[in-house]
Chains A and B, each alone.
Chain A
Amino acid sequence: MFKILKKTQFSEKVFEFRVEAPRMAKKAHAGQFLMVRADETGERVPFTFANWNPEEGWIEFIFMVVGKTTQCLSQLNEGDYIRDITGPLGKPTEIEGDRVAVIGGGVGLAIAYPVARMLCEQGKKVYVIMGARNKDLLILFEQFAALPLEELFVTTDDGSMGEKGVVTLPLARLCESDAIDSAFAVGPVPMMKFSARTCREYKIPIVASLNPIMVDGTGMCGCCRVEVGGETLFACVDGPDFNADLVDWDDLAHRQASYKAEEALSIKHHEEACACQK
């Protein structure tokens, strides 16, 4: 059981938990993830470490309410317990280059944030490009704005905040002006795919943090397999970071959609059960 020490709400659907986990706090690195099983009947769901403190023995992760597990998590409070947390898993993020564009889209912004912070701490010049469908879905803006960035770009599909359009617009400008020598992207598949395509045009290396469905997270089940450069690799042990230029994006998108119908059913079942309790 893992005790929630602190709960922070960033926006209607975005939360951060600080959880007591002394062993894990000593071993976590940016880009690595943990797997949560909220309760006895819960699914195992991966979340990236947002922060950790080995002296105080806690770890933090940020999540956005998108499905049943995150909905259940959002209802927990300080002092409550999470049934199981396993980690750290995956390989830490390693970014070459000194001038880096960090591109985050949607829920992926929760993963982009600790990476951007780490790169700032490493003394690199960091440009952040935040993307979302609209202003309400653009999470962690204040947190990003507080980092010592070279520049912060915001794009929304509907123009309700920042530039109207997609993340590749500012990315192309950064590439064009020779401001960056590498990039990191995390978010929806089309966003990562087109970021990789833009970077390819300018021969800028780009790493993407992939988010396929996982079950065990330790390389045992093969659920999170991805095609990278013609090789079948496991995001949980070989990643989650990969050379974005080599990723088979269509394959990833298909696999991510494997349980769309079941996810909807799970939420419906959960809401009905909640309604019964009320």
Chain B
Amino acid sequence: MPEVTKYRPNIGAPRTPANEEPAAERARDFRPVDTGYTKADAIAEANRCLDCKKPLCMEGCPVGVHIPQFIEKIRQEDWAGALETIKADNLLPSVCGRVCPQENQCEGKCILGKKGDPVAIGQLERMLGDMADEVGTAPECAPANGKKVAVVGSGPSGIACAGELARMGFDVTVFEAFFTGGGVLTYGIPEFRLPKAIVKREIDGLEQLGVHFEYNSVAGRLFDADELFEDEGFDALYLAVGAGLPRFLHVPGENLPGVYCANEYLTRTNLMKAYEFPIYDTPIRHGKNVVVFGGGNVAMDAARTALRLGAEKVTLAYRRTEAEMPARRAEIHHAKEEGVEILELANPLRFLPGPDGFVSTIELQRMELGEPDASGRRRPIPVEGSEFAIPCDVAITAIGTRANPFAKLCADVELNRWGLIETDEHGRTSNPKVWAGGDIVTGAATVILAMGAGKTAAHSIAETLLAE
């Protein structure tokens, strides 16, 4: 019998650092912030894993990726096997490895994190996802079962649902309003954080599974659920239309030219490639003094995009302090490293125009933190007489989004008072043929939660349709 050597983790080894591009250089173009782990990095990092009997990391993963198993396969240098292990639970490792808040999920639960740094699970996942062209194999699909499912929206939730259903033998069509797929992965998350080639590869992968994509198809205007069921023979519908409607500050001057909401700023840049104007036709205003309002990941994306569009100074103004920002720590760290300045405890009062009619000045007010509010964070309170002004030629508001209003035009489903769709834990809506998931159910949340909802709904749809 061959000798079986028991795995001994490399206890005490430091976390393998990310291969980040120098901040000063990368902040001037749209190249990826970090180039990802090499195979050697991945093996070194995999050797830090304690291979816990009761892996807490898995509990932290919203879709239950078998993390210790794929890490073990990395140690064995079985790259194809490692990728397959992830893909069994998560169709989009390249995306999730980059944009999941691992610090609150898998890595947040990792035992190593109690005393030092957790295993870099996100980096490992990303690296494996990126090896798909080299080692990936198309997942096997069950034989066609003759049932047709329509998915509305090609963001993370729609993609996850479509992929899962296709693998189970369903005939799936995804309807997308834009001319290209990916939803927020394409129009929202910048190239430097999630290269669009990766999103495209994932969509191509779904097409290889037999999923049809119909672009330029605005659900609720071009068709509705009844037409899909009655005229086009669909048996079920999954609504994943997102919650992309912007919120505004509702302060004077907010409509001045030069004041953007982050959705517009990012859509122009990411989807329409305004950073390549005039080769691409869509323009964007390049500010010298850019001020961003908000403290979430979208605010960080907008601020960092402004730097890459050539801003001399980018200030991120937030009503609370950095500690209360909802953005990922890594994003805040990257933004600061690249030169974004954070202005804490500052609330905008009004935008003022310059002689050219564009925004030129912002009046703000100092805030102080009071008692915790419903969110558990300390409530910002205005400090009287603390008004001050800063120059600004582009302002970007990133203070959250609302439900997509097309949801109600699309199908007769029950909505709550925020316009979000009511579902049970399987994604079932009040309409027996319609399921829903992602941000249109939860309100703005994470990519992985949206994907998890898509997967859950896919199984519920399968169970229902195959029982018929």
Contacts and interface: CB of A to CB of B under 8 A. Distances in A.
Interface of A: 23-24, 27, 37, 41-44, 68-69, 83-89, 215-216, 218-223, 225, 227, 232, 237, 251, 254-255, 257-259, 262-263, 265-266, 269-270
Nearest to B248: A232
Given A220-B267, A265-B278, A257 B357 contact: yes
B255 A220 contact: no
Interface in B381-411: 404-406
Given A232-B248, A232-B255, A269-B278, A86 B177 contact: yes
A36 to B, nearest CB: 10
Nearest to A27: B222
A255 B276 CA distance: 22
A85 to B, nearest CB: 6
Given A86-B218, A232-B248, A265-B278, A219 B404 contact: yes
Contact of B255 (A41, A86, A255, A263): A255
A44 B221 CA distance: 18
A24 B250 CA distance: 36
B261 A215 contact: no
B263 A266 contact: no
B257 interface: yes
A88 B222 contact: yes
Interface string B148-185: 00000000000000000000000000000111000000
B267 to A, nearest CB: 5
Contacts of A221: 246, 261, 263-264, 267-268
B281 A41 contact: yes
B222 A83 contact: no
A43 B250 CA distance: 29
5 contacts: A216-B267, A219-B245, A232-B255, A257-B357, A262-B277
Q: Is the interface of A mostly helix, strand, loop or mixed?
A: mixed
Nearest to A220: B244
Contact of B267 (A215, A263, A266, A269): A215
B277 A222 contact: no
Q: Point out which of A41, A263, A270 has the most chain B C-beta atoms below 10 A from its C-beta.
A: A41
Contact of A218 (B177, B254, B281, B357): B177
Given A265-B278, A266-B281, A83 B248 contact: no
A60 B179 CA distance: 20
B69 interface: no
B278 A266 contact: yes
Given A88-B222, A222-B261, A265-B277, 19 more contacts: A43-B272, A83-B179, A84-B216, A86-B218, A89-B218, A216-B177, A219-B245, A219-B406, A221-B246, A221-B263, A222-B248, A223-B264, A225-B248, A254-B255, A255-B255, A255-B257, A259-B283, A263-B283, A266-B283
B214 to A, nearest CB: 9
Contacts of B30: none
A86 B216 contact: yes
Contact of A23 (B187, B223, B246, B358): B223
B320 to A, nearest CB: 24
B229 interface: no
B40 interface: no
Q: Point out which of A85, A222, A251 has the most chain B C-beta atoms below 10 A from its C-beta.
A: A222
The 6 closest A-B CB pairs, nearest first, are A262-B283, A43-B281, A221-B264, A258-B257, A269-B278, A84-B179
Contacts of B273: 41
A189 B215 CA distance: 34
A23 B177 CA distance: 14
Contact of B221 (A87, A222, A262): A87
Contacts of A37: 179
A251 B261 contact: no
B272 A254 contact: no
